[in-house]
């Protein structure tokens, strides 16, 4: 039996982890979130835990004594991180320090979620040995958090991912697939960039990757993403085609047309050979991912 604590249980990845780990007979699940739990918990226990409160973090981890902590909670809105830097740093760096120190004190394996935005996007797709060079404040905060995790004397893993999509119970946050689908269903014309490259990741696949890390006690850095390199424009076209929506409403553009507070890396995407080899990670294709999403929405 392995005892796994999940932070950010109300987020997209958090909800998928709760669903997955609830079904694992070898797991004793501890779900945590800042507020009340939004999705039903069919197994395990729930504890309120605000990651920005060090006393609360230490109390919950001390009381529950998890073997592994999967830390998904973060401030992930890239433009908001650029304009609200103090809040970004507090949530993405200071709070990671609280979680990391609690894991070290109580001998828990910390599995920390990071991002392709730690890279400048000049040379994708990237493997785990690629040298980070963030070009946004969000990326800077996530890289600073990685440094905190790497300094631990107890087991740690950094899971980097790319452009996660999926369906949550409450649909409080959108993602590229849901945004495209809803916009086209509403008859809106959308402008989508064709000069950025990513390997979009189904949330269920990311949850499985995190669980495999915990299960095998795998340490170090792992890229966990889809394995199809696409531009947002290509993602939009394939989404429209899958849901039989009007592709003529999708207008191809480039990133120079968008004036966003935060810079985006032009080309990231991940090479996932290490995760396949060491974890047995096997992501769905993008078409399969859209099929899973369609089933959940219906």
SS3 271: coil
Q: Residue 294 and residue 276: Cα distance in Å, rounded?
A: 26
Which residues constitute the domain of residue 138?
A: 2-167+201-227+269-285
List per-residue pLDDT tens for the chain, 298 residues long.
999 999 999 999 999 999 999 999 999 999 999 999 998 899 999 999 999 999 999 999 999 999 999 999 999 999 999 999 999 999 999 999 999 999 999 999 999 999 999 999 999 999 999 999 999 999 999 999 999 999 999 999 999 999 999 998 876 678 999 999 999 999 999 999 999 999 999 999 999 999 999 999 999 999 999 999 999 999 999 999 999 999 999 999 999 998 899 999 999 999 999 999 999 999 999 999 999 999 999 8
Total domains in the fold of the chain: 1
Half-sphere exposure of 258 (CA within 13 A, CB side): 17
Give pLDDT, residue 282.
98
Whether 242 is covered by a domain: the verdict is no
pTM of the model: 0.98
Give pLDDT, residue 172.
67
Q: Residue 22 and residue 296: Cα distance in Å, rounded?
A: 18
> Please, are residues 114 and 268 in contact by the beta-carbon 8 Å criterion?
no
Give pLDDT, residue 72.
98
CATH of the domain at 52: 3.40.50.720
Q: Using CA atoms of 276, 277, 278, 279 in order, give the dihedral in degrees to the nearest 10.
A: 30
30, 61, 119, 164 from 110: Cα distances, Å:
14, 12, 22, 21
Cα end-to-end distance, the chain, whole Å: 35
> Please, are residues 169 and 41 in contact by the beta-carbon 8 Å criterion?
no
Of 105, 62, 76, the closest CA to residue 206 belongs to 76
Whether 174 is covered by a domain: the verdict is no
Tokens 């740690």, located at residue: 156
Whether 51 is covered by a domain: the verdict is yes
Whether 97 is covered by a domain: the verdict is yes
Classify residue 154 by its DSSP letter.
S
Give pLDDT, residue 259.
87
Whether 233 is covered by a domain: the verdict is no
Give pLDDT, residue 174.
85
% helix / strand / coil in the chain, to the nearest 5?
Answer: 40, 20, 40
Tokens 């340490």, located at residue: 219
Whether 36 is covered by a domain: the verdict is yes
Q: Residue 281 and residue 225: Cα distance in Å, rounded?
A: 10
Q: Residue 165 and residue 240: Cα distance in Å, rounded?
A: 15
Structure tokens given for 222: 């792992």
Residue 35's DSSP bridge partners are none
Whether 125 is covered by a domain: the verdict is yes
Give pLDDT, residue 202.
98
Whether 55 is covered by a domain: the verdict is yes
Give pLDDT, residue 170.
78
> Please, are residues 281 and 272 in contact by the beta-carbon 8 Å criterion?
yes
Q: Residue 263 and residue 5: Cα distance in Å, rounded?
A: 33
């Amino acid at each position: 039996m392995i005892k796994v604590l999940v932070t950010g249980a109300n987020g997209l990845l958090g909800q998928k982890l709760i669903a997955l780990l609830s079904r694992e007979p070898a797991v004793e699940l501890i779900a945590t979130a800042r507020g009340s739990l939004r999705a039903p918990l069919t197994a395990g226990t729930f504890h309120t835990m605000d990651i920005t409160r060090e006393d609360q973090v230490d109390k919950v981890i001390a009381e529950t004594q998890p073997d592994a902590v999967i830390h998904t909670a973060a401030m992930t809105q890239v433009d908001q991180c650029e304009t609200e830097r103090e809040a970004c740093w507090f949530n993405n760096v200071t709070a990671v320090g609280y979680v990391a120190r609690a894991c070290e004190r109580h001998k828990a394996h910390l599995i920390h979620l990071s991002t392709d935005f730690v890279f400048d996007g000049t040379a994708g797709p990237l493997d785990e040995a690629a040298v980070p060079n963030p070009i946004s404040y969000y990326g800077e905060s996530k890289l600073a958090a990685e440094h905190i995790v790497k300094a631990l004397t107890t087991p740690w893993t950094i899971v980097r991912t790319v452009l996660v999509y999926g369906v949550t119970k409450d649909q409080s946050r959108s993602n590229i697939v849901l945004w495209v689908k809803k916009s086209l269903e509403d008859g809106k014309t959308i402008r989508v960039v064709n000069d950025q490259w990513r390997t979009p990741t189904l949330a269920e696949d990311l949850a499985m990757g995190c669980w495999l890390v915990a299960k095998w006690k795998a340490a170090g850095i792992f890229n966990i993403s889809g394995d199809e390199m696409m531009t947002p424009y290509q993602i939009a076209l394939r989404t429209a085609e899958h849901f039989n929506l009007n592709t003529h409403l999708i207008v191809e553009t480039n990133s120079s047309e968008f004036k966003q507070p935060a810079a985006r890396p032009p080309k990231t995407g991940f090479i996932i050979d290490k995760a396949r080899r060491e974890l047995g990670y096997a992501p769905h294709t993008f078409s399969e991912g859209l099929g899973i999403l369609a089933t959940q929405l219906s």
